[in-house]
Structure formats: C-alpha cells, structure tokens
Amino acid sequence: MMRSPVNKAPTDGDPEGPDGSGLPSVPHVHPASVVSALATLDAEKAGLEALAKAMAGPLGAAFDVAVATIQNSHGRVIITGMGKSGHVARKIAATLASTGTPAHYVHPAEASHGDLGMITTDDVIVALSWSGETVELRDLVEYSRRFDVPLIAFTSNPTSALASSASVVLNLPVAPEACPHGLAPTTSTLMQLALGDALAVALLQSRGFTALDFRQLHPGGKLGASLKFVRDVMRAGDAVPLVQSGTKMGAALVEMSAKGLGCVGVLSEDGSLAGIVTDGDLRRHMANDLAARTVDEIMTAAPRTVRPDQLASEALNILNARKITALLVVEDRAPVGVLHIHDLLLTGIA
C-alpha cells in the first residue's frame, strides 16, 4: 500500500533554497571587525547630522559672524588646539591656506614660550577645544584679549573659559563618541574637522576663489598637474605636423612619420586650419592610389580642437570621450600646437 506524501512545513528562506536544494538561505553575518566599523560610521554619521541641524539653527548665525570676522581682517588666521584638536587644527590651517585664506598653526604650548610673537593685531585666532577648558590655551587666550585680537572658539561647552573669552563661539552639538568607552575623540574630532572645512569653503566662495587661483597654490602633485593649461603641455613650432592644402598624401605620410604623432594638420592658403588627417582616416581610405591623392580628399574637415588657454584636464576629457590620441591646438583659427595623450601621461595629468 502506497503512503501519502508528507507535507513539509514552509521554511523562512527560499522554498527552493538559493541553490535549489530546498534548504533555507542563511543571512550573511559580518565579522566582528566590520560590525565595529559600521557602528563607528553610524555614530559619526549621527554627529555630522547633529552638526548640520545645528548649522541650520543657532550655530548658523555665529558661523556667519565668524566668516565675516575673517573676511574683514587684514592678517592671517591663526589656528590652535591641543592633542587631537591640535591635529585637526593643523589640517584646517592647511585647508584654509590652500584655498586662499592665509593661515598657519601655532602650538599652544609653544605660544607660551615665544611663539605668541607670531600673532599680530591684524590676525584672527581660531581655537579648538572640545571641553573649552584646555589649560595650554590660557596664555594664548589672554594674549588675544590683551591685544584685542579676534578669537573664534570651536567648542561644545558654551559656558567654558574659552567660550567666555571668545569674540565668536561656534558651539558644536554634543554627540556620543564612536569609541565604545566614550573616551577616544572620534565623533567630536570629525565634527571639528567638518566645521573647519565648512569655514574654508564658505571663505573660498565668498572671495570668488577660482580653479585658476587654486592652481597658483598647487603647482605640484596630481592637483597641480590637472590644473596646467594646454599651452604648458602642447608641442609647438617645428614639432607640429602640418602640410598645405593640396599636398599629396605621399608627402603628408612623410610628415606624419617624421613627427610621430599619428596625425597631420592641413592648412588653408590663409594659414587657418582646414582639417586633419589621422591614422583612422588612412585606414578608412586605404587603397593602392592613396599616396597619389591629395590631403583634401582624405582629411577630416573642421576637426575638434582646443585652445592654448584651456585646462589640460579639459583636453584630456575630450581625448577620452572621442577615443582619440591627439588634438591640434588652435588660436585665431591657426594651429599653434598639438597635444598628444603621451604628453599628458608624462606630466601626470592622465
């Protein structure tokens, strides 16, 4: 006698199983280190959200006064802080300086041993102290009051000694540290850093600081390379492959080979650019009589060009978008140079 099939209870997972086995799927379990990292990021995210909420409220008014105070000064911004706040202060000073607001860091302990002489009455002091009770800041704060140097405080304690002496108090909201013991500065230093970035960007925008201004302060490294102009990188003079309109392709091929850039520009009688012959054009017109034909028959008329005063990074975007390796540089309709992808690679732009 045949038995009836047994009805199985449904599982919480896929009834067929992820592999068709009928077994329930098992949720992914993060290792303990990842769980810890996610908790840290959640805590710091909550701190930034609290800071943004405060900026939309009372902190915003004080922030606007701080920006105006720095804008109206005739000196530099002196950033100071002790411990972790000091490390953040150094970064804020570097960001301000690189975005058009002269600034430097003064160590509060060194200030008490002569470095107060670095601060003038034309300067503005920005002091970072989460508690507002950092002992090492005392002499520097007293100096600012004695010589009427504007003092902007980054602190979470609006009734602290630092806040009481400050011209402007940027009161940071209190948020739990990501440290499980609530001891290591984590969320608090991130909030200080974010507020410093906000200050630098607000000053940058208020002063109309442009990418070209940025280039003046960043001549080196990847940033400096990306802010070079086409004229700084292009090949000019005899290095530019050019032939006159009506030239036979045989002679044009000799010019292309001699300059080794895979292209040759074609000039009109008035010296303006009429077109360009590239390796791609050669492939499209490959035939036994190619050498006997004129460049006018083969060239791409009105090719894409760049100006000498364009950023080299912009030219790189054109090269990548069009999947080409060279661009002729034109000024007043006449070719004055050629820009090759290899030149961008050598200068660190590409």
**Backbone φ and ψ of 168, nearest 5°:** -135, 130
Cα–Cα distance, 145 to 147 (Å, whole number):
6
Alpha helices in the chain (DSSP H): 32-55, 58-71, 84-98, 108-111, 138-146, 161-165, 187-206, 211-217, 221-226, 230-233, 249-259, 279-284, 295-298, 312-322, 341-346
The residues that bridge with 267 in the sheet, in sequence order, are: 244, 273
Cα–Cα distance, 293 to 314 (Å, whole number):
35
Q: Flag whether 107 is marked binding.
A: yes
Cα–Cα distance, 216 to 256 (Å, whole number):
36
Q: 96: Cβ–Cβ under 8 A, 6 or more apart, which residues?
A: 77, 79, 102, 103, 196, 199, 200, 203
> If DSSP codes are grouped into helix, strand and coil, which group holds residue 241?
coil
Q: How crowded is residue 289: how many other Cβ atoms within 10 Å of its Cβ?
A: 8
Residues 310 and 196 sit within 8 Å (Cβ to Cβ): no
Q: What is the 3-state secondary structure (H, E, C) of 172-237?
A: CCCCCCCCCCCCCCCHHHHHHHHHHHHHHHHHHHHCCCCHHHHHHHCCCHHHHHHCCEHHHHCECH
Q: Which residues are annotated as a binding site?
A: 107
Q: Which residues are annotated as a binding site for Zn(2+)?
A: 107
